Every structure is written in C-alpha cells, then in structure tokens.
Amino acid sequence: MKYIGWLAIVPLIGMFLGPICHNASTPFILGMPFILGWIVVWIVITSAVMAVIYRLDPARGQADEEGPR
C-alpha cells in the first residue's frame, strides 16, 4: 500500500499526453474543441483519482483512530 501515491501521476500523464498526441480542433467533446474537452475530462478524472488515494491511504485510518490532539 505504500505505492498508492504513485497513482497521482496518472492524471498528470493524461493531461500532458493527450494534447501532444492529438492536436486538432475539429473533433468536439461536449461542444468544446478536443484539447479543451480532454483537459476538462482529466480534471474530473483527477478528482476521482484523488478520492481513491484518500480512501486507500493507510495514514488516514491511523489519524482517525488516534483522535484529536
């Protein structure tokens, strides 16, 4: 479980590789040019990935058990 933080690299790679691999404005995603739509989709995916990291983080459970300081 100590490698769960590496999951945070997935959105970073997705945001940067998409526009580099497909730099065109003709296809549309939800009425937006492809690059803008790609980035908006990855912002939503980033939120989901961060929620998964938060849920799976073992340090979060230990902090809850210790109580307030």
pLDDT at 56: 86
Please tell me the predicted confidence (pLDDT) of residue 39.
87
Contacts for 22 with CB less than 8 Å, ≥ 6 apart = 34, 35, 38
Q: How many CB atoms lie within 10 A of CB 33?
A: 13
| pLDDT band, very low/low/confident/very high, at 63 (cuts 50, 70, 90) | low
Reduced to 3 states (helix: H, G, I; strand: E, B; else coil), residue 27 is coil
pLDDT at 51: 92
Q: What is the pLDDT of residues 15-61, one digit of tens each?
A: 888 778 877 667 887 888 888 888 888 999 999 999 998 888 877 76
CB under 8 Å to 38, separation ≥6 — which residues? 15, 18, 19, 22, 29
Structure pTM? 0.71
Q: Where are the domains of the chain?
A: 4-54
Calpha distance 49→6 (Å, rounded): 11
